[in-house]
Chain A
Amino acid sequence: MLRTISMIGSASGAITRRVALGLMVTASVLAMGQSRAEAAKDNVTIGMAIEPAGLDPTVAAPVAIGQVTWQNVFEGLTTIDRQGKVVPLLAESWTISPDGLTYTFKLRDGVTFHDGEAFSSATAKFTLDRARGDQSVNPQKRYFSTIDTIETPDATTLVLKLKQPTGSLLYWLGWPSAVMVAPKTAENNKVTPVGTGPFKFVSWAKGSQVQLEKNAGYWNSQVSVKLEKASFRFIGDAQAQAAALKAGDVDAFPEFGAPELMESFKGDAKLVTVIGNTELKVVAGMNNATKPFNDKRVRQALMMAVDRATVIEGAWSGLGTAIGSHYTPNDPGYIDLTGTYAYDVEKAKALLAEAGYPNGLTFTIKAPQMAYAQRTSQVLQALFSEIGVTMNIETTEFPAKWVADVLKAANYEMTIVAHAEPMDLDIYARDPYYFNYKNPAYNAVLQKVQETSDPAEQAKLYGEAQKILADDVPSLFLFVMPKLGVWDGKLKGLWENEPIPSNVLTDVHWVE
C-alpha cells in the first residue's frame, strides 16, 4: 500500500516529493490505526449454510433456528454444555422426589428479558403450557406431554408434577425447543425474538443475515461476553462458502458444507480447520414391515455387506465416524458396536441364502438430493452388488417429498437420511414411525431409562438399547457426520463438537 502511493507520487511527477511524503505518513498512520482496530476486534461474522425459517425455536423444527438463537438470544431452565452434559441455567438448582414424579426448580432471581420484562415462575409456566397445550406447534411437543400439572408457589419456585417418571426431562428442558419466552413477546418471536440471553436481536435482512448485539443487562455477571456484535450470514453454495472464508467476508463457518473442499484450506495461513463430532447419524432406514426387510436376517446380511470405511471415504472424503447403532460417541453410555455385524461378504451371502434369497434380491432406495445421501447410496449400491443384491436408486426431494412419502406415509423400501436430533434412540420405539420397527423388549429398555434419573443407570440402559438395535438392524447404521469447522485462527471459543446443533457465542473472542 505504501509502495503504491510513493510510486504514484514519483511517476506522475505532478505531485511534489513533499506531498508524496505527506501521503506516505498519512498512509502509515492509517495502517497503524487499522491494526489497532484489528487488535480490539469485537465483532464476528459466522457463516451458515441454511437460513432459519423464523427465529423462534419453540414453534418450528429446522436446526438453523437454534443455531442462531439458542444460548445467544434464548435460554432454557437447563442447558447442554460443550461436553453434552446437562447443567443449570435459568433454574439454578432442582430436587426430584424419590418416585421421580415431582420436580421442584429453584429459579434464578433478577433475570430479565431483553425488553425489561422480568423472568419468574409465571413466565416458565407460560412457556411450558404454550409448548404442551392444545394449540401448541412445538416440534418436540411429545417431550412436554409428560407434564401433568405446573405449580408456582412463589416467583422463584416452579413445581412440575409428571404423569410418569421421565428421566430425560432435564435434558429435554435444555433443548432449543424448551427455551423460555415471555407472554408479551412470544407471538412475535418468529420475527423479533426476545429472550434472556447474552445477545439481543438487532435485525434480520431476509436472505442475507441476522445481526445480534451484546445484551448490556445480562443477568449472569459471572460471564464476560467479549463480542459487541455478531452476525450470522447465510451462504448456501459450498463454493461460495469457501470463497467467503478465503476473502475474509466471513470469520467462521462452524459447519462447512463440503468435505471435499476441506483440503483447499490447508494452504491458507489465516484459517484453521477443526474437525469435531455432531449428532447427525447417517442411517439407511428400512421398512421393517414389508418384505424382504421384515426378515431380520436380510437386514443383518445387508449390514454385513457394508464396509463402513469405504462408505465414509466415498461419501464424505473419509471424514466421519463409523457407528454400529443409532448413537454417537458424544452420547452418554456409547459403546462401539461396529463389530456386531462387521463387513464380511461371505457371511452376508450365506445369511441371505438362509433367509431364502440364494440368488440375491432387488429393491429401491429413496435417496434425498443431498450430496451425502446420493454418494452413500452409490457406494452402497456397489457394495450390495458384491452379495448379489441389486439396489436401484430413486432420488427424492428433501424435505418436501421425503417427509410426505417416507416419513409420513412409510411408502418406501429403503431410504437414507441423517437424523439430527441428539439422543433420539426413542424414534425406534415410536409407533407409527417410518422404520415400522416393533420390538417390545427394546421399548421396555427405553421405558426403564425414563424411570430412573440416575445418569449411571441411564448410561447402562442406553448401552442395552444400542446392543438391541445393533443386533436387530432396523436400519443400516453407517456413520456420524463430522463437524467441519473452518475459521480464522485468531478466533477462539467456538465449540469444536456439537452435542446439540448450536453456535454458542458466549465465549467467542479474538486473540492477537
Chain B
Amino acid sequence: MITILTRRILSLIITLLAVSLLVFSIMNLLPGDPAAIMLGTSASPDTLAALQKQMGLDQPLPLRYLAWLSGMLQGDLGTSYTYSVPVAGLIVERLAVTLPLALMAVVLSVAIAVPLGVTAARYRNGPVDLIVGLFSYAGIAMPAFWVGLLLILLFSSSLGWMPAGGFPGWDAGIGAGLKALVLPAVSLALAQAGVLTRVARTSVIEVMNEDFVRTARAKGLGEGAALWRHAVPNALIPVVTMLGLQFTFLVAGAVLVENVFNLPGLGRLAYQALSQRDIIVMQNVVLFFAGLVIVMNFLVDLAYLVIDPRLRAKAQ
C-alpha cells in the first residue's frame, strides 16, 4: 500500500513538472504582448519598453520559468498583470466559488443518475426505461451553458425565484451563496447525470446477469433486495471511473457556465486572463486545473480500493 502510494505521488510530481513546462511554453509562445494590451492603441514605443521592464517581460524565457518554479516552492505564484495582486490569493478567492459549484454538481449528478440508472435497469426495455433513456440523451445533447440560459429565463426572468447570476460572496450568508450556485450546479449536473445514468444502467444490467445475483435470487431474496444489496454495490466501479473522467469535463464546463451565470470562479478567471494575456495568472490556473485532474484520477484509484475489497487485498 505504502509503496503504491509513494510511487503514485512521485509520478504525480513528475507529471506536474512536465505540465508546468508545457504550460509555460505554450503561454509564452502565444502571440500577444501583455504590456502592449495594457497600453492600448495609443502607446509610444518607449512607454511600452518601460512597462515591459516593469512587468519583467524583458527577462529571457528560461529565467522566467525558473523564477516561476522557485517562487512556487516558496508559495509565491507571482503577481497578476491585470489585477496587480498575488495570483495565489486570486486562485484561493475563486476556488471558494468553483469548488462548491463542482461539488454540488457532482453530488447532484450522482443523486440523479444512480437512482435513475438503477430504476431503468430494473424495468429495462419498459416505458420507464424509455423515459429515463430520453432524459439522459437530452442531458448529454444539451450543452451546459445553454441549459443555464434556459434556467435563467425560467427561474430568474419569468418566475423571479433565483438570482440571474453573479455571486453575493460567502460573507452575505451561506444561504445566499448556495442560492447563487443552485442554477449553475443544475446546468452542470444535467449533462453529467445523463452520461452517468447510461453507465449505471448498463453496469447494473450486466451485474444482474451474473451468477451471484442469480444465486441470491434463488436463495429467496426479492428482486429489489438482490438489486440494492448485491447488484448495485458491484456495479459502482464503472460509475466511479466515469465520474473521475467526467471531472475534466466538469472543469471545462465550469468555464462556460461561470460565464453565463457571471460567477467569479476559477473558470472565468482563466477566460479573462487568456483574453487579457495575463500570462502569470494563466499559467498558474492551467497548472492548477491540470493538477486537479491528476489528483482526481489519483483519488479515483483510491476509491476503487474502498469499493472493491479484491483490489485492497491485492494492494496488500
Contacts and interface: CB of A to CB of B under 8 A. Distances in A.
B31 A233 contact: no
Contact of B157 (A137, A235, A247, A424): A247
Nearest to A208: B264
A54 B82 contact: yes
A326 B153 CA distance: 40
A239 B260 CA distance: 8
Contacts of A408: 33, 36
A246 B166 CA distance: 14
A424 B42 CA distance: 9
A420 B41 CA distance: 9
Interface in B273-297: 275-277
A247 B160 contact: yes
Contacts of B37: 399-400, 403
A7 interface: no
Contact of A60 (B31, B39, B259, B265): B39
A427 B264 CA distance: 37
A140 B38 CA distance: 12
Contacts of B264: 205-208
Interface in B30-89: 30-33, 36-44, 46-47, 50-51, 54, 81-85
A48 B107 CA distance: 34
Interface centre among B40, B260, B276, B277 (most CB of A within 10 A): B40
B308 interface: no
A51 B278 CA distance: 13
A60 B36 contact: no
A370 B276 CA distance: 14
Interface in A129-150: 134-142
B262 interface: yes
Contact of B169 (A62, A135, A140, A205): A205
B84 A141 contact: no
B198 interface: no
Contacts of A134: 46, 50
A53 interface: yes
B257 to A, nearest CB: 11
Nearest to A145: B44
Interface in A403-428: 403-405, 407-408, 419-421, 424, 427
B31 A243 contact: no
Given A54-B82, A237-B260, A401-B31, A141 B43 contact: yes
B166 A235 contact: yes
A400 B262 contact: no
A235 B262 contact: yes
A207 B33 contact: no
A404 B33 contact: yes
Contact of A139 (B31, B42, B152, B268): B42
Given A137-B39, A407-B41, A237 B259 contact: yes
A249 B165 contact: yes
A189 to B, nearest CB: 9
A1 to B, nearest CB: 12
A169 interface: no
Interface string A357-377: 000000000000000000000
A75 B166 CA distance: 30
A240 interface: yes
A54 B84 CA distance: 7
Given A53-B276, A244-B262, A401-B31, A137 B51 contact: yes
Contacts of B185: none
Contacts of A401: 31-32
A186 to B, nearest CB: 13
A136 B50 contact: yes
B163 interface: yes
Given A53-B38, A138-B47, A243-B156, A405 B166 contact: no
Given A138-B47, A233-B166, A247-B160, A207 B261 contact: no
A227 to B, nearest CB: 20
A94 B180 CA distance: 53
B149 interface: yes
A329 B248 CA distance: 51
B167 interface: yes
B93 interface: yes
A208 B163 CA distance: 14
A87 interface: no
B78 to A, nearest CB: 15
Contact of A137 (B33, B42, B54, B260): B54
A136 B47 CA distance: 6
A420 B152 CA distance: 33
B94 interface: yes
A394 interface: no
Contacts of A137: 38-39, 47, 50-51, 54
A244 B168 CA distance: 13
Contacts of B47: 136-139, 141
A137 B275 CA distance: 21
A139 B40 contact: yes
Nearest to B40: A61
Nearest to A233: B166
B172 to A, nearest CB: 11
B42 A240 contact: no
A190 interface: yes
B41 A404 contact: no
Interface in B142-165: 149, 152-153, 156-157, 160, 163-165
Contacts of B277: 400
A419 B31 contact: no
Contacts of A235: 165-166, 262
Contacts of B269: 207
A247 B43 CA distance: 40
B41 A206 contact: no
Given A137-B54, A399-B276, 17 more contacts: A54-B83, A136-B47, A139-B38, A139-B39, A139-B42, A191-B83, A206-B93, A207-B268, A239-B260, A243-B164, A247-B163, A247-B164, A397-B275, A399-B37, A400-B32, A400-B275, A408-B36
15 contacts: A53-B82, A59-B38, A60-B40, A61-B38, A61-B42, A62-B38, A191-B83, A206-B90, A206-B264, A207-B265, A239-B260, A399-B37, A400-B30, A403-B36, A424-B42
